[in-house]
């Protein structure tokens, strides 16, 4: 006998539908319905809810469905992972500080677009020198392909990627190679197609959020909604051996309770980490520039371990590319770049012209390690949310790409790469969807074009997200890896990451030990990391930079004078030098 249960405080009755037969369920005082039925793994089931303001008796999937073999509108399937598949009993985990993260999208990382196909390329990531693989969302969403942020059944793995068994195989294969796995999860909203949670209980509020109705985190019935989120996070850690979660857009988690849901999640994640005996990491995506997210609970914060830092991306990107539209408006100067590298946030209680208000809060660099902030030159957002989804490899030369990489990979922050960045991939990464509903598809296209117009982009040639070619054209072209200039950039990334592993100065997470010199007019910047100096020429012409030392690596070889007090750095190039004297003695 197996116990089936579902939290559904709204319906007047709930029946279990399994293999064509219906069974009445009994409700307890907390809104949970239960029944015991003879069932086996592989059986298909769902719930019929009545009396919730509708006469529709459609069989609905389980909100906690472990598998959706026929898509998000179909029946759920009883499923259990095979414990014999796991070979990672010796895996003790990996801490985020000192590591490098590699973000990828399963559907476009390989031509096959599956988790099993991605396994075949894990050795390349080991050779590159990264420590974590971050998967964009793999929860079940409607359609065959998409970014994954329209998920509606958070406990199930998207079937076209291979379903839950394939995710198990992927994590096990990553651990066998010493790679941790980060999973991107979305708790701030649900997708527009296949979301039946409102038929069961008060999962959503009537308020308007960024993508639709907000999740009910603090209203009546919110205790079980919060439990739904936390249980989901713990399931990935416990059942799938995931090492870290990237929490999408936590600024959209509207929670006015005394204890924010993120703090609750932090508490329970730590409890499970202690039990499992390995690090479990929570990484937030937030545009608030609020250090409370990564401040320990003992100091009044939420206790998350890290957060994405868009200010570093904007400062590096705008300085190298010269772009100034939209949210790049306040960025671009070397003064801005130096300030951001030294303080983590550029907007830290300062005026943001893009927002039209003061934004952010200063980071206490004495107490908060820089490794708590993820730094990057590319992400799925920063590429995919460009009007044409064009990668930097399309509009920057390889020297500029190398300069960007040097600034991030030698920084005190936790570096993150986006798939294909390491060889300067030229294939776009566009926003793509496969909504079967015609009206929804049209609304997505219109919404994207309005958003681009607000950010100053030309919307005349914005790809149609619903066009299958928009998706197919976003698949990585791996043949580029062996082309001479791409191979040279790939070797540069490998060398930078190897240098980062070999020199303790480069993984030092304390910003107090970082110094920056720059010349706005001559377009050079030098970052001092103990004895290491990273000299970058953002201009197109060679320039003499007042920095000395023995060259360790470079993009184009510098010419260092005999006294080692200055170096001629070619245009769009960088050099890493081992200095003879400490920066403070210069």
Residues with a known catalytic role: 248, 285
Gap between the Cα atoms of 245 and 134, Å rounded: 9
Long-range contacts of 295-298 (CB under 8 A, 24+ apart): 295/368, 297/263, 297/266, 297/267
Radius of gyration of the chain (CA): 25
DSSP-assigned letter for residue 464:
P
Q: What angle do CA 549, 553, 554 make, to 5 degrees?
A: 100
Q: What angle do CA 415, 420, 421 make, to 5 degrees?
A: 45
Gap between the Cα atoms of 26 and 4, Å rounded: 11
User: CA neighbours within 13 Å on the CB side: how many for 262?
Assistant: 35
524-529 and 550-554: which strand pairing? unpaired
Helical segments of 410-544, H only? 438-454, 468-472, 484-502, 504-507
Distances in Å between the Cα of 480 and the Cα atoms of 67, 176, 203, 210, 383 are 37, 28, 46, 37, 18
| Phi and psi, residue 561, nearest 5° | -70, 170
Burial category of 366 from C-beta neighbours within 10 Å (exposed 0-12, middle 13-18, buried 19 and up): exposed
The structure tokens listed for 300 are: 């009044």
Helical segments of 31-148, H only? 106-109, 115-119, 122-128
Q: Which of 212, 109, 214 is nearest to 161 (CA)?
A: 109
Gap between the Cα atoms of 230 and 54, Å rounded: 30
Over the range 389-405, which residues count as b (16 or more CB within 10 Å of their CB) and which as e?
bebbbeebebbbbbbbb
Gap between the Cα atoms of 247 and 332, Å rounded: 28
The residues, ordered by sequence, that sit 6+ positions from 11 with a Cβ below 8 Å of its Cβ are 49, 50, 51, 52, 199, 200
Strand partners, 532: 529, 578
Q: Is the dihedral of CA 316, 319, 324, 330 positive or negative?
A: positive
Q: Which of 540, 541, 568 is nearest to 396 (CA)?
A: 540
Q: Which of 221, 224, 247, 237 is nearest to 303 (CA)?
A: 247
Asked if 292 and 279 touch (Cβ cutoff 8 Å), the reply is no
Gap between the Cα atoms of 232 and 190, Å rounded: 14
Strands annotated E in 152-212: 153-157, 180-185, 204-208
Helical segments of 503-547, H only? 504-507
Q: Which of 111, 125, 250, 103 is nearest to 179 (CA)?
A: 125
Distances in Å between the Cα of 175 and the Cα atoms of 115, 169, 179, 197, 537 are 14, 10, 5, 35, 39
């Amino acid at each position: 006998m197996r116990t089936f249960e579902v939290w559904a405080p709204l319906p007047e009755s709930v029946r279990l539908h399994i293999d064509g037969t219906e069974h009445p369920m009994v409700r307890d005082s907390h809104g949970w319905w239960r029944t015991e039925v003879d069932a086996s793994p592989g059986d298909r089931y769902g719930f019929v809810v009545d009396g919730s303001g509708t006469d529709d008796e459609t069989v609905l999937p389980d909100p906690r469905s472990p598998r959706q073999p026929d898509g998000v509108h179909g029946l759920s399937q009883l499923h259990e992972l095979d414990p014999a598949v796991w070979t990672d009993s010796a895996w003790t985990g990996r801490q985020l500080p000192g590591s490098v993260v590699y973000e990828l999208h399963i559907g476009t990382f390989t031509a096959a677009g599956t988790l099993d196909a991605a396994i075949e390329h894990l050795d390349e990531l080991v050779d590159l020198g990264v420590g974590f693989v971050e998967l964009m969302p793999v929860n079940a969403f409607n359609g065959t392909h998409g970014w994954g942020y329209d998920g509606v059944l958070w406990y199930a793995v998207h079937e076209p990627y291979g379903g839950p068994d394939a995710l198990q195989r992927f994590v096990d294969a990553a651990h066998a190679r010493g790679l941790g796995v980060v999973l991107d999860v979305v708790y701030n909203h649900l997708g527009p197609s296949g979301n039946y949670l409102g038929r069961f209980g008060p999962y959503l509020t009537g308020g308007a959020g960024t993508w639709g109705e907000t999740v009910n985190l603090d209203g009546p019935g919110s205790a079980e909604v919060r439990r739904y989120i936390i249980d989901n996070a713990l399931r990935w850690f416990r059942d799938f051996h995931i090492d870290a979660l990237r929490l999408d857009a936590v600024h959209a988690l509207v929670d006015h309770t005394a204890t924010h849901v993120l703090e609750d999640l932090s508490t329970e994640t730590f409890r499970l980490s202690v039990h499992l005996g390995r690090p479990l990491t929570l990484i937030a995506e937030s545009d608030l520039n609020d250090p409370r997210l990564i401040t320990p609970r003992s100091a009044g914060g939420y206790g998350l371990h890290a957060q994405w830092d868009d200010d570093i991306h904007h400062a590096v990107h705008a300085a190298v590319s010269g772009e100034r539209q939209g949210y790049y408006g306040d960025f671009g100067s070397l003064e801005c770049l130096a300030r951001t590298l030294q303080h983590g946030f550029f907007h830290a209680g300062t005026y943001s012209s893009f927002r039209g208000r003061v934004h952010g809060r200063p980071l206490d660099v004495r107490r908060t390690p820089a490794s708590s902030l993820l730094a990057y030159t590319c992400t799925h957002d920063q590429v995919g949310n460009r009007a044409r989804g064009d990668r930097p490899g399309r509009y920057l030369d390889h020297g500029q790409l190398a300069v960007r990489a040097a600034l991030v990979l030698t920084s005190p922050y936790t570096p993150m790469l986006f798939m294909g960045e390491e060889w300067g991939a030229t294939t776009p990464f566009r926003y793509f969807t496969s909504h079967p509903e015609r009206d929804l598809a049209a609304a997505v296209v219109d919404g994207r074009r309005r958003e681009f117009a607000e950010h100053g982009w030309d919307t005349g040639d914005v790809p149609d997200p619903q066009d299958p070619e928009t998706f197919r054209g976003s698949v990585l072209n791996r043949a580029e890896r062996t082309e001479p200039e791409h191979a040279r950039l790939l070797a540069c990334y490998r060398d930078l990451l190897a240098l980062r592993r070999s020199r303790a100065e480069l993984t030092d997470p304390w910003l107090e030990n970082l110094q920056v010199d720059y010349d706005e007019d001559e377009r050079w910047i030098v970052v001092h990391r103990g004895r290491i100096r990273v000299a970058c020429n953002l201009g197109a012409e060679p320039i003499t930079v007042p920095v000395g030392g023995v060259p360790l690596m470079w993009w184009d070889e510098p010419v260092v004078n005999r006294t080692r007090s200055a170096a001629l750095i070619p245009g769009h190039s960088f050099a890493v030098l081992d200095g003879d004297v400490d920066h403070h003695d210069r």
